Structure 1
Amino acid sequence: MTLFSDFPMREELIRAVTDLGFESPTPIQQKVIPTLLSQPSDIIGLAQTGTGKTAAFGLPLLHYIDTSVKDIQALVLSPTRELCMQIQNEFDKYGQHIDHFRSVAVYGGVPIGGQIREIKSKPQVIVATPGRLIDLLERKAISLENVRYVVLDEADEMLNMGFREDIDIILKTTPSREFTWLFSATMSNEVRGIAKRFMKEWKELSVTVANTTNENIDHQYYITNHHNRFETLQRLLDFAPGIYGIIFTRTKQDCQEIAERLMKQGYHVSPLHGDMDQKMRSKVMERFKNRTLQAIVATDVAARGIDVNDITHVINYELPDDPEVYTHRSGRTARAGKSGICMSIVTPREISSIRNIERIVKQRFNKTDIPDGGDVIRKKLFFYLEQIETAEPKADFADTYQQMIHDRFESMEKDELIRRLVWLQLKEAIDAYSDSQDLNAGFGNTGGGGKTSGWRRLFINLGEKDGLNTERLIAFIAESTDIESDMIERVTVRDMSSFFNVRHDAADFIQQSLNSKKYKHRKVRVEEAEQSKGFKPGGGSGRGGYSGNRGGGRDFGGKRHGHGPEGYTRSKRH
């Protein structure tokens, strides 16, 4: 078996990979990494998303970086800001032991000034979306004159999004480019055209991948406030009384703490993480495989050794930092042709991460309300009744105990006996949920009697003198709160302040989120606006208002319109 430690990489990278818990490379990594380390060349890597492409090009890239040179030496282009941030985050992990290594991500949807300041800090690697990079080039805020390595990640996706001309422009601004590494899920004519125009004689490295998405998985997400995350987990466990699953956490500490809290509450679970010795981990896995445990709470690294085909549920207590890790987590269920459920507990600020993962797994997720107490009790009742209905007592059970049972309850009516038996089974749940709170976040409910009740108008202490217009203000609010821009209406921008409408059930969250932000070093202040007699929620624009159709009744999970902070709506460029 090939190990990362077998690759002739710089020692700092081997240490970082070991720290991250990676041992054996994926198929695309096994092909690409040794090829680029032995003799760098132009390559085309063909593999599906979720197969570890970031490390496949990232580790060789960092192997060749010279931190003593204060120039941008490598450029990575990716189609979306989410992927940009993910790649840059991975690079920081890989380069954690490389002295003076620095990477910067630049992408649309956020003020460009902060990114310009970061570029001035002399990073060796830039990760960029094509549109924002062209903006920076036009402003002469970045130079690609000394870039030696260019990576085109998700090349087919960039071309599908209309970035062909942008890619041409960018590659022509890299005169010192020696190597181009192109990664794509497919080898379309358009991708081949890019290769022919800008690459030398290339090597094509491809892997046949098992389907990274499983159509038998029901992907669900539940929106709650951060402080209700653990209670939501409990609610989901109670709502799935027959669960046989894995609960994923980000860190070993979370894994241990959450497992201990659940065990104290009477759940049959156990932690599984890297700080446990092998004997303890083997014991946990033995209990899990013989179903003594209804679930294990695990970190991603520890869960790699789990090979069980009957897992019914995967629960993401928190979404992984790397969206590609989601595919590995969800793939633990729905094996061997069976169906499964992958649940994710998210806060309103994490909805954009859900959208990014949807793009990767190429499936739409189902936003589901967190069940209330009545839902949980009914689910437990149906589960218990089904157990009774399908039970098959041992043959000698009746001979041994039937008469004793009959004598004890001969005078009791059948319905009364059933009522008491069911009550004993459900009493604990009924007591626990007699006064249960609604754990759904206070906004974003979809149809069917949602909780929205009109609109509220808010004041913000930013205006034209801060360089804002309507679209820039909308972009700032949406990015700062992770709400959809469709939820902002009737914007009025004045010299020193502005006003805007938001859905009533989102107003408190938006107010709280924005009041913790700064804009161009100014502390943002948002408060309830005094409404004039003529105020009409959701109505037309006032001075400086936005008159476009903003889809007033849509859920927070709706599609964004891609308004960039520079005030234009070329969504393809960001």
Structure 2
Amino acid sequence: MSFENLDLIDELLQAVNELGFIEPTPIQTDAIPEIIGGERDLVGLAQTGTGKTAAFGLPMIQLIDFDLKHTQGVVICPTRELCLQISADIKKLCKYVNNAKVAAVYGGASIETQRNQIKKGAQIIVATPGRLLDLINKKIAKLYQVSYLVLDEADEMLNMGFQEDIDAILKNTPAQKRTWLFSATMPHEVAKIAKKYMKNPVEITIGKKNSGAENIAHVNYIVKEKDRYQALKRIIDYYPDIYGLVFCRTRKDTQEVAEKLIKDNYNADALHGDLSQGVRDKVMGRFKTKSLQILIATDVAARGIDVQNITHVINYKLPDEAQNYTHRSGRTARAGKSGTSIAIINSREKSKLQFIQKKAGVKFNYAKVPEGYAICEKQLYFMINKMVEVKVDHKAIGRFLPPVYNTLSDLTKEELIQKFVSIEFNRFLYYYKGSKDINVSLTTKKDAHRPAKKRRQQKGLEPGKSKRFFLNKGSKDNLQKGAVIRTLCSRAGISSENIGAIEIMRECSFFEVETNVADNVLKSMKDAKIDGRKIQVEYAENKKSQTKRSKKSKKRKKR
């Protein structure tokens, strides 16, 4: 199968050929002809890195009339990094199409620049939900003539609390448009959007639904909590040619791990939401060009990472949701290549690993964190092979060699090798000298005497590191989790990653935030409103004490 068999116009085939695409991926082979030749909506389920952007971008470009100056195609995605990536890819595919204009619309950038791009006649808008809705409300983005709408990474947009924004955006588009939904997984919420806004969609599934790529090896290591960072370093050292992505759960952890690795002389850096857009672009640029070997990132920041040849994904901390693990692991083994996804856990997280294993449809293979001798051996052989394979420019280096030969003439071949190896290798020898086994056995003494039982899987922040809040609105007030998340983020200036479990009950609700932002949340939520209704927020423990006092008072009155 080639792109010539997909009924694409010559201008698109020219762009595809120039980009070096030889054969279409399975999702492209199935989706492109269906979109171009059909009239139905489409749901495309495929692992991250399988070419979904071209799967919807190529047919959208072919179907749009670029002689017209109004917006005809809209692509909605969860993060600004992904927005920039998709818009850049679509612009490359449009290279030989006359009059084609593409606008990237996302938060953190000049709204005036984006307004001008749209007003100049952008036929395609690639946008994050919040900024697009803002432009709709300001009467800048006018979607009443949109013919084609794409929801890309739909599962992640819902995880980030964007369902209400998406609902509002879709209500501003024509009923007769065609909608194409692309996702790596198909959780319940995504299925609900498909049912609500799509008409009899064609479903294309590449691989098993809600599962990761088959060419990824899933490995887990079990260590004590205090040895987690030590385990990370040993894993990185054991793979000298690693080109890896390390996932942390919070921005704070991401920054701390990156700073530790940099201090320990690793070629590493961090990517998270607290960094300015300029810094994030710089870090991503270094990672894409491989001048950065290890990137430590949060789930949200990593959504825009479309980088080939990542060898390892390391889960420094497991995510709460199985679909997030699928997205993480999908950063490696892209475009049909193989890769490794590693999970570092402590003994208390075994049940969480089993939960992810079951829900994500993957099989973890337990392995032991390498000991010092094995790491030194691996590093030494890697260095020697690198030396053997290095190309020597005899002409350029020749005039520098006579004094070198003279200086080294008294050394035997064995002495020369020993000294050369020691220069490059002493760091590992000294560091791992006398290193201990940090692995925790699969079955601890406590586990051996404990009856097997199912543990309830809880979604929340780490015990002892969170504060629980009471909110005086609930389901009877039509309170939505997404609205709570957005209000907390906008008023308190925190990230969704700082927010834990949210329980919406009939009369009231409860939510968790990290302890370090709790006081700020309490202060900033004073006199807050959600959807125009005033809310009251206080520490849940205070509410409990008030309730107890109230009950005691009632008992005294009865007496």
TM-score, normalised to structure 2's length? Answer: 0.48
Structure 1 length as normaliser, TM-score?
A: 0.47
